[in-house]
Structure 1
Amino acid sequence: MNEAVPQTPQQTSQQTSQQQNKKILVVSAHPEPRSLNAALTAFAVGHLRAAGHEVQVSDLYAMKWKPAVDADDFPGHAPDRRLAVMAASEHATLAGRLSPDIAAEQEKVRWSDAVILQFPLWWFSVPAILKGWIDRVFTAGFGYGPSVPPPYSEGALAGRRALVSVTAGARETAFSDRGIHGRLADVLHPVQHGLFWFTGMAPLEPFAVFGSNQLPDERFAAAKQEYARRLDGLFTDEPVAFRSLVDDYDHDMRLLPGTEAPGTNGLDLHVRP
Structure 2
Amino acid sequence: MNVLLVYAHPEPRSLNGSLKNFTVERLERAGHTVQVSDLYAMNWKATLDADDAPARDLAEPFRPSTDSRHAFEGGTQPADIAAEQEKLRWADAVILQFPLWWFTMPAILKGWVERVYAYGFAYGVGEHSDRRWGSRYGEGTLAGKRAMLIVTTGGWESHYGPRGINGPIDDILFPIQHGVLYYPGFDVLPPFVVYRTSRMDDARFAQTREALGERLDRLWETAPIAFRQQNAGAYEIPALTLRDEIAPGRTGFAAHVDGAGAAS
Measured against the shorter chain, the TM-score band is over 0.9
Task: Give the CA deviation at 1:45.
Answer: 0.3
Whether the aligned pair in 1 keeps the contact of 2:139 and 2:183 (CA below 8 Å) is no
Match of 1:46 among 25, 45, 68: 25
CA distance 1:30–1:270, change in 2 (3 Å): same
What letter matches 1:131 in structure 2? K
Unaligned 5+ runs, structure 1: 1-21
Structure 2 residue 152 is the aligned partner of structure 1 residue 167: yes
- Per-residue deviation, residues 45-82 of structure 1 (Å, max 9, x unmatched): 00000000000000000000000001111121132221
User: Is contact 1:141-1:147 (8 Å) kept?
Assistant: no
Q: 1:80 aligns with which of 48, 53, 59?
A: 59
- Give, in angstroms, the shift of residue 95 of structure 1: 1.5
What's 1:254 paired with?
241
Task: Name the count of aligned residue pairs.
Answer: 251
> What is the CA distance between 1:263 and its match in structure 2?
4.8
> How far apart in 2 are the matches of 1:91 and 1:170?
43
Equivalences for 1:147-158 in 2 at 5 Å?
150-158=135-143
Per the alignment, residue 223 of structure 2 pairs with 238
Q: Name the SS of the counterpart of 2:193 in structure 1.
A: strand
Are 2:206 and 1:227 aligned? no
User: Is the contact between residue 125 and residue 140 of structure 2 (CA under 8 Å) also seen in structure 1?
Assistant: no
The separation in 1 between residues aligned to 2:125 and 2:148, in whole angstroms, is 26
Task: After superposition, give the CA deviation of every residue in 1:20-69 in whole Å (9 maximum; x if it has no partner).
Answer: xx000001100111011111110000000000000000000000000000
Q: RMSD of the alignment, in Å?
A: 1.2
Q: Is the 8 A contact 2:148 2:191 kept in 1?
A: yes
SS in 1 for 2:199: coil
TM-score using structure 2 length = 0.93
Superposed displacement of residue 106, structure 1: 0.5
Tell me how far 1:156 sits from its aligned partner.
Answer: 1.6
Taking only the aligned residue pairs, the percentage that are identical comes to 47
Post-superposition CA distance 1:208-251 (Å, at most 9, x none): 11001221111111000000011111111000000011121001
- Secondary structure, aligned partner of 2:84: helix
2:258 maps to what in 1?
272
**8 Å CA contact retained: 2:225, 2:257:** yes
Question: CA separation in 2, counterparts of 1:201 and 1:37?
Answer: 24
Partners of 1:162 and 1:203 within 8 A in 2 = yes
Partner of residue 132 from structure 1, selected from 100, 106, 111:
111
CA distance in 1, matches of 2:7, 2:110: 12
Q: How does 1:1-273 map to 2 (within 5 A)?
A: 22-146=1-125, 150-247=135-232, 248-251=234-237, 252-260=239-247, 263-273=249-259
Give distance in 2, aligned partners of 1:224 and 1:59: 20
Deviations 1:101-159 (A, max 9, x none): 00001000110000001100000000000000011001111001035861112222101
TM-score, with length taken from structure 1:
0.90
In structure 2, stretches of 5+ residues that fail to align are: 128-133, 260-264
CA-to-partner distance for each residue in 1:137-195, whole Å, 9 max, x for gaps? 01111001035861112222101100000000000000000000111110001110001
Structure 1: which amino acid aligns with 2:242?
L
What SS does the corresponding residue of 2:41 show, helix, strand or coil?
Answer: helix
Aligned-partner Cα distance in 2 for 1:214–1:23: 34
1:270 aligned partner, one-letter code? H
Amino acid at match of 1:197: Y
Higher relative contact order (CA 8 A, sep 6+): 2
- Specify the SS of the correspondent of 1:135: helix
- 1:188 aligns to what SS in structure 2? helix
